[in-house]
């Protein structure tokens, strides 16, 4: 059993806290003492300070005012509260936009934005970079020695792109470097002889635009990579200024499956990942699917660094920005929070501590409402969870260990979005990923979501749904994985293009993968949404929708065939022995998940993947997850099924909060328990 891996060497508890904006109340500072009293009652041990507070810290250029953070740090030290200190780059002061218009963002139609909102800066602007480095340095110098400082939080949910001249220049340099300053290399990879779009030199390589070039897929995918690289570069710039004075760990809060930035690249710049989770609970059709989707998102966030993460934001009750902003029902916030921990979070944090009085988020849920006191349902639920998390301290630093992985790549999202074909506007890559994820999740099997370029060494099973982008090198690594005994699952649209979105000549799946799967795919049929195709496999009938690929099988064993259409009786599901391993190919999109469930069930049994409760059925809609470390195993049971459920355990467990010994448990609606094996 491996040891624990704490995110912070000096903090061995679960973090419980969230966004705190005392600057909104600087005209009534007595409220800060009330905040401290209430935070104690809520069992908060952390507050995230400084998000979007630049105008408070630097009200005029070069004029600084640290009186609010000074006061809060002092109170935090006295009250044993930890501070996660944010850098303020997510929103800038009005004077900066006025004096330095270049700090504003330029849209893809080349119009510069006006001042307003947040996340509205240019990440290439030398002035913006200089200004943020200054303020970060001052913050780090001032607070690095405070015992209250836990770690750094860079900016807030970084996102967006800018099309100004600074950014254009940086893009040109990015391309020069990537294509060895050889424009013909670029022309070939971008296939620019098509429609006479050849470039004569790098200076012509303008960023894509809705009113200009947007049909060259090599350009659009390289631009997205540039946006990631430039965001990461800006992040490194912010971090370097902090590091001059503080060696505390650094994170930035991500947004789950946000598609604008390759989070796997961005995660390389920080010490650990954190993310903001705002599920759609209380759905008319139930929360089972949503719980599984959120589980997958947590697993993706954890897998970015294969390390525990923080749940940096969640709501204690409701949000204000969805079309319908429904209250989380009693108990739901608790199991949603425990779900994050079950999947590898070492914190539960909220947006926000106190509801702001005015402006756009005044109706967003908070621990303390405009009412201002502690006798509310939401406050009571928060305080009860805080007390419970104190009893669950031993879970902090334990790990989620997975023997199965699903490949999930931002490159693939981008290339599928661009590709004009299949279902043009929505290829449903996320849904395809979730279809496979769900089959592991239902069984309580831990699974990582890794990138194709990550190491495959720790895994026995790899599933690669719709792995459209695959270069020869990745194909070779997948081949070695199978050769050495791994089980690989590939699906339709596998390995059709290289990393620059150029189709592989010789067919798909590319190169050695044809030997690995023992077949090649010849055509891909896209169905109208109301159509389906019969599938015969495992002696049963299943249903395909959306996509059916027509295969030419060479060495593979046929396990399933199409039951209708002009490709009736041709193979649609195969397995091939390759070296010591096996490679399955599923040529169609499974409609309901029943086929995928059967397949993953068989593979899990064959590879003896550990399940949360050995040999027992987990009721539908109950999440069962294991975290382990330092000789201990913790079982999380969380009931998202919408009704009471009895769970039979595979032995005697201890309920951590009560010490009670149990071997079966009744979980009421929205109930959950953490048990020790």
Task: Give the residue with the Cβ less far from ligand GAL, 321 or 371.
Answer: 321
Q: Report the nearest approach of ligand GAL to the CB of residue 269 (Å).
A: 18
User: What's the CA gap between 96 and 127, in Å, rounded?
Assistant: 9
Q: Report the nearest approach of ligand GAL to the CB of residue 253 (Å).
A: 6
Query: What angle, rounded to 10 degrees, do the helices at 126-143 and 217-243 form?
Result: 30
Q: Report the nearest approach of ligand GAL to the CB of residue 285 (Å).
A: 23
Query: 661-667 and 645-655: which strand pairing?
Result: antiparallel
User: What's the CA gap between 349 and 75, in Å, rounded?
Assistant: 20
User: What's the CA gap between 613 and 210, in Å, rounded?
Assistant: 52
Q: Cα separations (Å) of 274 from 254, 301, 477, 492?
A: 6, 8, 30, 33
- Check if 157 is active-site: yes
Q: Beta strands of 538-644 (E only): which ranges? A: 540-553, 557-562, 571-578, 581-586, 588-590, 622-629, 632-639
Choice from 66, 95, 278, 538 touching ligand GAL (CB under 6 A): 278
**Cβ count near 240 (within 10 Å):** 12
User: What's the CA gap between 604 and 598, in Å, rounded?
Assistant: 10
Burial class of residue 428 (count of CB atoms within 10 Å of its CB; 0-12, 13-18, 19+): middle
Q: Report the nearest approach of ligand GAL to the CB of residue 235 (Å).
A: 16
Q: Cβ(406)–Cβ(416) under 8 Å?
A: no
CA 29 remoteness from chain centre: 37
Query: 404-407 and 461-464: which strand pairing?
Result: parallel
Task: Give the residue with the Cβ less far from ligand GAL, 351 or 640.
Answer: 351
- Report the site for ligand GAL in 356-385 (rule: CB under 6 A): 361, 364
Q: Does 336 bind ligand GAL (CB under 6 A)?
A: no
Q: Report the nearest approach of ligand GAL to the CB of residue 634 (Å).
A: 29
Choice from 46, 157, 388, 418 touching ligand GAL (CB under 6 A): 157
Q: Report the nearest approach of ligand GAL to the CB of residue 22 (Å).
A: 15
Among residues 641, 650, 627, the alpha carbon closest in space to that of 302 is found at 627
Q: Does 276 bind ligand GAL (CB under 6 A)?
A: yes
Task: Give the residue with the Cβ less far from ligand GAL, 252 or 670.
Answer: 252
Task: Give the residue with the Cβ less far from ligand GAL, 118 or 236.
Answer: 118
- Check if 30 is active-site: no
For residue 279, what are the contacts with CB-CB under 8 A and spacing of at least 6?
290, 291, 293, 294, 336
Q: Cα separations (Å) of 575 from 13, 121, 491, 493, 568?
A: 47, 51, 12, 17, 19
Strand partners, 664: 648
User: What's the CA gap between 253 and 166, in Å, rounded?
Assistant: 26
Choice from 8, 226, 234, 351 touching ligand GAL (CB under 6 A): 351
User: What's the CA gap between 669 and 555, in Å, rounded?
Assistant: 50
Which one from 23, 46, 56, 313 is the annotated catalytic residue?
Answer: 313
**Cβ count near 399 (within 10 Å):** 21
Which one from 23, 157, 161, 549 is the annotated catalytic residue?
Answer: 157
Task: Give the residue with the Cβ less far from ligand GAL, 364 or 442.
Answer: 364
User: What's the CA gap between 288 and 64, in Å, rounded?
Assistant: 50
Q: Report the nearest approach of ligand GAL to the CB of residue 276 (Å).
A: 5
Q: Report the nearest approach of ligand GAL to the CB of residue 123 (Å).
A: 18
Task: Give the residue with the Cβ less far from ligand GAL, 276 or 549.
Answer: 276
Task: Give the residue with the Cβ less far from ligand GAL, 262 or 313.
Answer: 313
Choice from 146, 156, 192, 220 touching ligand GAL (CB under 6 A): 156
User: What's the CA gap between 253 and 83, in Å, rounded?
Assistant: 15
Choice from 58, 313, 454, 549 touching ligand GAL (CB under 6 A): 313
Q: Does 222 bind ligand GAL (CB under 6 A)?
A: no
Sign of CA dihedral 490, 492, 496, 500: negative
Task: Give the residue with the Cβ less far from ligand GAL, 364 or 427.
Answer: 364
The binding track of 109-148 with respect to ligand GAL, each residue x by CB under 6 A or -, is ----------------------------------------
Q: Does 319 bind ligand GAL (CB under 6 A)?
A: yes
Q: Report the nearest approach of ligand GAL to the CB of residue 33 (Å).
A: 25
Task: Give the residue with the Cβ less far from ligand GAL, 322 or 643.
Answer: 322
| Contacts to ligand GAL by CB under 6 A | 156-157, 276, 278, 313, 319, 351, 361, 364
- Residues classed as catalytic: 157, 313
């Amino acid at each position: 059993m491996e040891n624990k891996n704490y995110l912070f060497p000096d903090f061995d508890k679960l973090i419980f806290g969230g966004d705190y904006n005392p600057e909104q109340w600087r005209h009534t500072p007595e409220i800060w003492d009330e905040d401290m009293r209430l935070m104690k009652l809520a069992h908060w041990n952390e507050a995230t300070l400084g998000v979007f507070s630049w105008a408070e810290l630097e009200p005029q250029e070069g004029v600084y005012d640290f009186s609010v953070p000074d006061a809060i740090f002092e109170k935090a030290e006295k009250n044993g509260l930890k501070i996660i200190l944010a850098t303020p780059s997510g929103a800038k002061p009005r004077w900066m936009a006025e004096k330095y218009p270049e700090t504003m963002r330029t849209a893809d139609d080349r119009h510069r934005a006006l001042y307003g909102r947040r996340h509205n800066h240019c990440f290439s602007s030398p002035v913006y970079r200089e200004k943020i480095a200054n303020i970060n340095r001052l913050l780090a110098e001032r607070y690095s020695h405070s015992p209250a400082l836990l770690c750094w939080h860079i900016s807030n949910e970084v996102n967006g792109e800018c099309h100004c001249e600074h950014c254009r220049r940086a893009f040109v340099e990015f391309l020069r470097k990537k294509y060895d300053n050889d424009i013909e290399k670029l022309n070939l990879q971008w296939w620019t002889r098509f429609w006479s779009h050849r470039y004569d030199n790098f200076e012509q390589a303008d960023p894509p635009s809705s009113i200009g070039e947007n049909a060259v897929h090599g350009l659009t995918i390289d631009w997205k990579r540039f946006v990631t690289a430039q965001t990461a570069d800006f992040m490194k710039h912010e971090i370097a200024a902090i590091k001059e004075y503080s060696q505390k760990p650094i994170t930035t809060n991500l947004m789950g499956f946000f598609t604008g930035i390759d989070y796997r690249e961005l995660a390389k710049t920080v010490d650990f990942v954190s993310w903001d989770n705002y599920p759609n609970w209380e759905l008319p059709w139930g929360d089972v699917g949503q719980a599984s989707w959120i589980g997958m998102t947590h697993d993706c966030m954890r897998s970015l660094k294969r390390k525990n993460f923080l749940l940096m934001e969640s709501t204690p009750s409701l949000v204000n920005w969805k079309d319908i902003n429904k209250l989380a029902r009693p108990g739901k916030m608790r199991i949603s929070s425990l779900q994050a921990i079950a999947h590898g979070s070492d914190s539960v944090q909220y947006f926000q501590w106190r509801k702001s009085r005015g402006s756009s988020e005044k109706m967003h849920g908070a621990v303390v409402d405009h009412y201002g006191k502690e006798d509310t349902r939401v406050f009571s639920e928060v305080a009860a969870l805080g007390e419970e998390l104190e009893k669950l301290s031993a879970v902090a630093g334990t790990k989620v260990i997975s023997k199965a992985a699903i490949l999930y790549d931002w490159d693939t999202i981008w290339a599928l979005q661009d590709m004009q074909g299949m279902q043009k506007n929505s290829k449903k890559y996320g849904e395809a990923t979730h279809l496979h994820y769900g089959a592991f999740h239902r069984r309580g099997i831990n699974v990582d979501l890794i990138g194709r370029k990550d190491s495959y060494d720790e895994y026995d099973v790899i599933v690669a749904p719709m792995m459209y982008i695959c270069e020869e090198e990745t194909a070779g690594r997948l081949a070695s994985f199978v050769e050495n005994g791994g089980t690989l699952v590939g699906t339709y649209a596998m390995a059709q293009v290289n990393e620059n979105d150029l189709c592989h000549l010789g067919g798909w799946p590319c190169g050695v993968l044809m030997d690995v799967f023992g077949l090649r795919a010849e055509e891909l049929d896209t169905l109208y949404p109301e159509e389906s195709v019969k599938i015969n496999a495992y002696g049963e009938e299943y249903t395909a929708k959306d996509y059916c690929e027509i295969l030419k099988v060479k060495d593979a064993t046929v396990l399933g065939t199409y039951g209708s259409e002009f490709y009736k009786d041709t193979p649609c599901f195969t397995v091939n022995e390759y070296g010591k391993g096996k490679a399955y190919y599923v040529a169609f999109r499974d409609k309901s998940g029943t086929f995928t469930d059967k397949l993953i069930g068989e593979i899990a049994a064959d590879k003896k993947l550990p399940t949360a409760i050995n040999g027992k059925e987990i009721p539908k809609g109950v999440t069962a997850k294991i975290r382990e470390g330092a000789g201990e195993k913790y079982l999380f049971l969380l009931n998202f099924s919408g009704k009471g459920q009895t769970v039979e355990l595979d032995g005697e467990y201890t309920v951590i909060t009560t010490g009670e010994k149990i071997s079966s448990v009744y979980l009421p609606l929205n109930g959950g328990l953490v048990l020790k094996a």
